[in-house]
Amino acid sequence: MKISTSQYFKTMNDQMTTQQGKISKLQSQLSLGKKQVTPSTDVKATTKALKLTQVITQQRDDIANLQSVNAGYREEEAAMISMVDMIRRMQDIAVAASSETYNADDLTTFAIEVEGYMDDIRGLANSRDSNGHFMFSGTKVTTLPFTKQADGTVVYNGNQTEPKLELDTGYKLPLSISGKKLAGVIERKNALGVVTSRVDMFKVMQDFLAALKADNKVAVQTGGEELRTVSNNLGANLVDNGLRQSLVTERRDIGEDKILIYEGLLSDAQDVDYAKSITQLSSDMLALEAAQSTFAKVSQLSIFNFLR
């Protein structure tokens, strides 16, 4: 088969152009550190990289949200720990005041102390989080949870629905407890053990204060027993808070592990293997040089070179 000079020149030129294109692509990849210099370079790999990037971004957003949630948990925990400390001090007062060691004047002094604790506990129950929302008002986050009435009664203005954060997996993470759960339910029974009423911690403290002011040692002792129930309820809420903090830590660790996995997949999809690419670049450049040398020699050949 005969090959014309023009056909030969075209074939050689096409081969060298292709080789130069491969070298140019490799040089661009090495300079950027990415396999896909432009999206059109490898549409499938680019699409995969975009999806992985979106997943990584979502995981990072979830971790940021979890860190914010955990900060709220710590604020909630600190408030309840302070409440427990004051309730326990009131229990100590109940034990002391129900004995014969202290007289009516002493109980009046105790009453002043207890009244201060009551105001402090109500203030803690009306705490706001870092976003300015009330922590213990349920989903009514802009409503003051507990207000004191003229007769000393404390009224809850929130609801029992606890706000939740939905993560990318569809899991809903509770953000805080409601004021109803915080205040608890204390059952009051008669001598036959029949429940006559249900009250919360604020009513318990109010009645305990009234017993101190009235120098009613029996009622003071009863108040001490009810304060123990209040303390137990707050302790249970603290345990629940601790479990939620542990859950957040676990979810955050899972999210960070996922990011490492997805970043590895993303690196495989878009990052250049420098050792492999440099070797390939050297090979392609040698091939191009060989082709150019051959073309130069062949293009200079003429039939007159063989005529003597």
Same domain flag for 59 and 208: yes
| Distance between CA atoms of residues 162 and 176, nearest Å | 6
What was the pLDDT predicted at 306? 47
Q: Is residue 32 part of a domain?
A: no
Q: Is residue 255 part of a domain?
A: yes
Q: Where are the alpha helices (DSSP H) in 98-133?
A: 104-125
Q: Is residue 115 part of a domain?
A: yes
Same domain flag for 117 and 241: yes
Report the predicted TM-score, pTM, of the whole model to 2 decimal places.
0.72
Same domain flag for 279 and 154: no
Of 91, 98, 128, 129, the C-alpha closest to 113 is: 91
Give the residue carrying structure tokens 């960070």. 256
Q: Is the pLDDT of residue 272 over 60?
A: no
Structure tokens at 57: 């971004």
Same domain flag for 246 and 301: no
Same domain flag for 110 and 259: yes
Number of domains, the chain: 2
Would you tell me the crossing angle of helices 104-125 and 43-97 to the nearest 10 degrees?
170
| Distance between CA atoms of residues 82 and 258, nearest Å | 38
Q: Is the pLDDT of residue 153 over 90?
A: yes
Q: Is the pLDDT of residue 150 over 50?
A: yes
Q: If you ran DSSP here, which 8-state letter would residue 142 be given?
A: T
Q: Is residue 1 part of a domain?
A: no
CA distances from 107 to 64, 72, 110, 228, 303 (A): 51, 38, 5, 19, 128
Q: Is residue 130 part of a domain?
A: yes
> Could you read off the pLDDT of 200-246 as tens digits, one per residue?
999 999 999 999 999 999 999 999 999 999 999 999 999 999 999 99
Q: Is residue 36 part of a domain?
A: no
> Could you read off the pLDDT of 169-199 as tens digits, one per residue?
677 888 899 999 999 999 999 889 899 999 9
**Contact (Cβ atoms closer than 8 angstroms) between residue 166 and residue 174:** no
Same domain flag for 244 and 303: no
One-letter amino acid of 308: R
CATH of the domain at 251: 1.20.1330.10
One-letter amino acid of 40: S
Same domain flag for 151 and 221: yes
| Distance between CA atoms of residues 210 and 111, nearest Å | 8
Cα 221 from chain centroid? 45
Q: Is residue 20 part of a domain?
A: no
Residues shown for the chain: 308
Q: What is the mean pLDDT of residues 240-267?
A: 84
> Could you read off the pLDDT of 21-66 as tens digits, one per residue?
555 555 555 455 455 545 555 566 677 778 878 888 888 888 888 8
Q: Is residue 26 part of a domain?
A: no
pLDDT interval class at 298 (50, 70, 90):
low
Would you tell me the crossing angle of helices 274-299 and 5-32 to the nearest 10 degrees?
160
Same domain flag for 146 and 260: yes
What was the pLDDT predicted at 37? 47
Query: φ, ψ for residue 166 (rounded to 5)?
Result: -95, 125
Residues in CB range of 292: below 8 A, 6 or more apart: 16
Q: Domain limits at 285?
A: 274-308
Same domain flag for 180 and 94: yes
Q: What is the mean pLDDT of residues 151-176?
A: 86
Sign, CA torsion 236/158/222/117: positive
Same domain flag for 89 and 187: yes
Torsion angle of the four alpha carbons 147, 153, 159, 165, in this order, in degrees rounded to the nearest 10: 60
| Distance between CA atoms of residues 102 and 100, nearest Å | 6
**Contact (Cβ atoms closer than 8 angstroms) between residue 1 and residue 280:** no
What was the pLDDT predicted at 101? 87
